[in-house]
Structure 1
C-alpha cells in the first residue's frame, strides 16, 4: 500500500479561498505522480504540510471526489482514484468523438491568434522536454488539446472537454511514463497541428485518430499489466487524527 506518510512537496498556503487552493495542490501532485493511483490522501498529513487546518483539506478532497480524482472509503479516508483499463478505453472513446469534431471545427475557424497560441504551446512542450521536466510537459499536453477545443469556437464543446478534465489529467500523467524521450510527447502533436493548419477534414480526423489512438492502446496496455486494487482493499487503518 502506498500512502501519503511523507511530504510530497506541497507549498504552504497563506491566502484566502483555501479549499480551491488545496484542491489545486492535490491535483498537481496527482498529475505529477507524487500521489500515484491508489495512494491515500491523509487529511492530517496534508494539513500539516500546507500549514492549515483539516477542514479545508476535507472539503478539497470532497471536491476532487466529485470531479473523479479521489474516491472515499468509509472510515479509511480518501484515495487517489485508480482507473481500470475499461475506464480508460471508455474515456478515450469519448475523447475521440469530442476531439475529432473540435479539430475539424478549429481548422474551419482558425484565426492567426489561435494558430499562434497552438504553435506557442507546441514550442513550450519542446522547451519543457529540453529541461527534462515531465510533470509540466504533462500539463502542457493537456493545454494543447484544450486550445484546440477553444479554437473550435463552441462553448458547449469546451465545457464537455473540461468535464473530462480530471480523468484526462490522470491519464495524461500516465502517458508521460510511456516515453523514454520527453521530446517524443511534443513530436506526436506536430502532425495534428499541421493537419489543422492545412485544413483538410479527412487528414485532420486521421491524425487525431492516430494521435489519440496510440495513447489509448498504450495506456490500456499499461493498466492491463497492473494488478487491480479497489479502495476497499486498502489498509483497514482508520484516518489518523
Structure 2
C-alpha cells in the first residue's frame, strides 16, 4: 500500500505530537503586541524586552522577533541595530501632516457619503456609534480604538470613491496609533463615543457646508489634543522611566 505523502493541517503525527503552525503563532504574537501598543501597555518609544515578553507568553524568541519584524513593516515598531525593537513615536511634523490630510480626505468623503449612503448607510453608522458606546461602557480600550477607526473608514466606503478609501487605508496605521493616543487623554471613554454623534447628525442633514464644518471640528479637536500631548511628552532618549514590560498572558499549551 502506498505511503501517504502528507498530512492535513492540525493532525497528529505518529509520535503523538500536534502539528504546530509557526505562521499562525507569529500572527497571534503580533496581535498581542498590537493590542499592548493600542492599550498603552507598550508606550511610544519603549523598547521590547524580547526575553521577558517571550517568557511571559511561553514561547521562544524566534516567533516574537518575526512578529516584531512584521510590525516594523506596518510602521508600528522601529528597529535599531544592536538595540532591538522600539514602539514607534510620532513626531509633531508627522502628526501635522497626518491630520492635514485626514481633514481633506474625510471631509470630502463625508460630503460624498451624504449623497450616496441612503438610509441603510446612515443606519449602519448609527449602529457603529452604538457599538462605540457599548465598548466604552465595557472599558474595552483596544476594541474601542478599532471600532473608532472602522467608523471613519465606513464613511469613506459610503462615499463610493475608491481612491478616497485607499488614501484612508494608507493612513490606517498612523491613524490607529493616534486614536489610541487620544483615547488615553480622556478619563471617560464614553466621551470618545459621543463625539461621533454630531458627524452622523451632519450627514443626516445633508448640508454640505455643515458636513465639512463637522468633520473639520471633530478631527481638529483631536489634532489639537495630540499636539498638546506630544509637546508635553519628554523627548526621546531623555531620562524618563519607560516602566516595566507589559504583562503578556501565556499561550495555551498544545496538549
Aligned to 2:231: 224
1:123-156 deviation line (CA, Å, top 9, x unaligned): 0111222223333322221111111111112223
Name the SS for the 1:164 alignment partner: helix
Over aligned residue pairs, what C-alpha RMSD do you find? Answer: 2.4
1:190 matched to 2:197? The reply is: yes
Instruction: Quote the residue 2:178 is aligned against.
Output: 171
Do 1:85 and 1:221's aligned partners in 2 also have CA atoms closer than 8 Å?
A: no
Q: Distance in 1 between matches of 2:215 and 2:187?
A: 22
Q: Deviating runs (4+, > 4 A) in structure 1?
A: 13-16
Report the counterpart of residue 137 of structure 1 in structure 2: 144
Give the structure 1 partner of residue 35 of structure 2: 28
Alignment partner, residue 8 of structure 1? none
Indicate which of 107, 128, 150 corresponds to 2:114: 107
Shift of 1:88: 1.2
Gaps of 5+ in 1: 1-12, 236-241
CA displacement 1:195-229 (0-9 Å, x = unmatched): 11222211111000000000101110111001110
SS in 1 for 2:196: helix
Distance 1:143 1:230 in 2: 34
Q: Which residue is 2:164 aligned to?
A: 157
14 and 32 in structure 1: CA distance in 2 versus 1, 3 angstrom threshold: farther
Structure 2 unaligned segments of length 5 or more: list them.
1-19, 243-255
Q: Secondary structure at the match of 1:167?
A: helix
Paired with 2:212 and 2:218, the residues of 1 have a C-alpha distance of 10
TM-score (structure 1 length as normaliser)? 0.83
Counting matched residue pairs gives: 222
Q: Which residue of 2 is the match for residue 7 of structure 1?
A: none
Q: Distance in 2 between matches of 1:74 and 1:207?
A: 45
- Which of these two proteins has the greater Rg computed from alpha carbons? 2
Residue matched to 1:4:
none
2:5 corresponding residue in structure 1: none
8 A Cα contact 2:76 2:173, kept in partner: yes
